[in-house]
Structure 1
Amino acid sequence: MSREMMGRVSSALRRAWRARFGRSARRRGLDRGMTTSEYAVGTIAACAFAAVLYKVVTSGAVLSALQSLIKDALDAKF
C-alpha cells in the first residue's frame, strides 16, 4: 500500500471514529477533563517517581560515575 493511500485510509478512519464516538462522548458528558481524584493519583505517582529517581541518582555507583564523567570532561586535552 502506498504512503499516500495509507494517509487517505487513516484520515477516513479518524473521521469515521470522530463521527461515531466524538459526538456521543460529548453528549454523554465524558469529555470534561480530569477529576480531583485523578489529579491526586497523578500527583502521588509523580512524587513517587521523583523519589525513586532521587534515590537512584544519589546512590554511590551513580555518583561515582557522574564524578568520573565530570573529571574526564574537565581533564580533556584540546
Structure 2
Amino acid sequence: MVTVRGDRGMSTAEYAVGTIAACAFAGLLFKVVTSGEVQELLVGLIDRALKVAE
C-alpha cells in the first residue's frame, strides 16, 4: 500500500522567496510611512488623540 503525504512546511527556496517578499514589503512600508504627507497625517492624529485625553 502506498501512502501519499501532503507537503508540510516550506522548502528552503520558499523561505528565501518569502524572506525577500517580506523585506520588499517592509521597505515599501518604510518609504510610505517616512513620506512627508504621511508623517503630517500621523502627527496630526497623535496631537488630536493627546488633546482628547486631556
TM-score (norm 1): 0.57
**Could you report, residue by residue, the CA deviation over 1:8-56 in whole angstroms, capped at 9, with x for unpaired residues?**
xxxxxxxxxxxxxxx8641xxx524321111000000000000000110
| Aligned-pair identity (%) | 60
1:53 aligns with: 29
Pairing 1:65–2:28 present: no
Counterpart amino acid of residue 49 in structure 1:
F
Kindly indicate whether structure 1 or structure 2 has the higher relative contact order, using CA contacts under 8 Å at least 6 residues apart: 2
Q: Does 1:42 align with 2:18?
A: yes
- Unmatched segments (≥5 aa) in structure 1: 1-22
Q: Does 1:74 align with 2:50?
A: yes
Instruction: List runs of 5+ in structure 2 lacking aligned partners.
Output: none
Question: TM-score, normalising length from structure 2?
Answer: 0.78
2:7 is matched with: 31
RMSD of aligned Cα (Å): 2.2
